[in-house]
Amino acid sequence: MTPTSSVAPLTKTAEVPCTRERAFELFTRDMSMWWPLSTHSVGGTPSSRVDMNGALGGDIVETLPDGASAIWGTVDVWEPPARVAFTWHPGGDPKDATHVDVTFSATDSGRATVVTLVHRGWSARPDGEQARQNYDTGWDYVLGRFCSAASPDRLTDDRSRRMA
């Protein structure tokens, strides 16, 4: 088994059908619209809410239906609409935090955005290698939800529901 300190960063890339400004906003401000809270959260309930407090030093916080909250990480890079980076320890000890860096690059047409997520720092976790394996499939699912939410049809449907 490879020591945790040598566990390579995990990189995921997706293309979403929206401008990079909208992709950044959706990933950060509108996280609760697409994050799979019933399966990938501390509370394990879709009625929770997750918010990325959009500023350097702001926390990523899950608020459960009973008002309790869990900190998932802290924003340490805030460069709208190009990049956001944060520590990552959903409901865990901040000393075990890994680091996630997300960049947003416009395609040549400007009508789509390439989102690149790099998750590193596995040596901070006692289960670093296993955690990386779990996040390898976990980020695929989470980013799939993000891509679906970025679909122009989906955004129109969501706006209609909020207005009704």
Q: Strand 113-120 relative to strand 83-88: parallel, antiparallel, unpaired?
A: unpaired
Q: Which of 149, 121, 112, 131 is nearest to 20 (CA)?
A: 112
- Give every residue of the chain whose pLDDT is below 70, as ranges: 1-5, 154-164
Q: Quote the DSSP letter at residue 77.
A: E
| Cα–Cα dist 112/36, whole Å | 23
Q: What pLDDT sits at residue 156?
A: 43
Domains of the chain: 12-163 (3.30.530.20)
The predicted model scores a pTM of: 0.89
- At 54 the pLDDT is 73
DSSP string, 103-158: EEEE-TTSSSEEEEEEEE-GGGSTTHHHHHHHHHHHHHHHHHHHHHHHSHHHHHHH
Whole-Å CA distances, 130 to 12, 54, 126, 136: 17, 30, 9, 10
Structure confidence at residue 154 (pLDDT): 57
Residue that the structure tokens 């040598």 belong to: 6
CA distances from 140 to 10, 100, 135 (A): 11, 14, 8
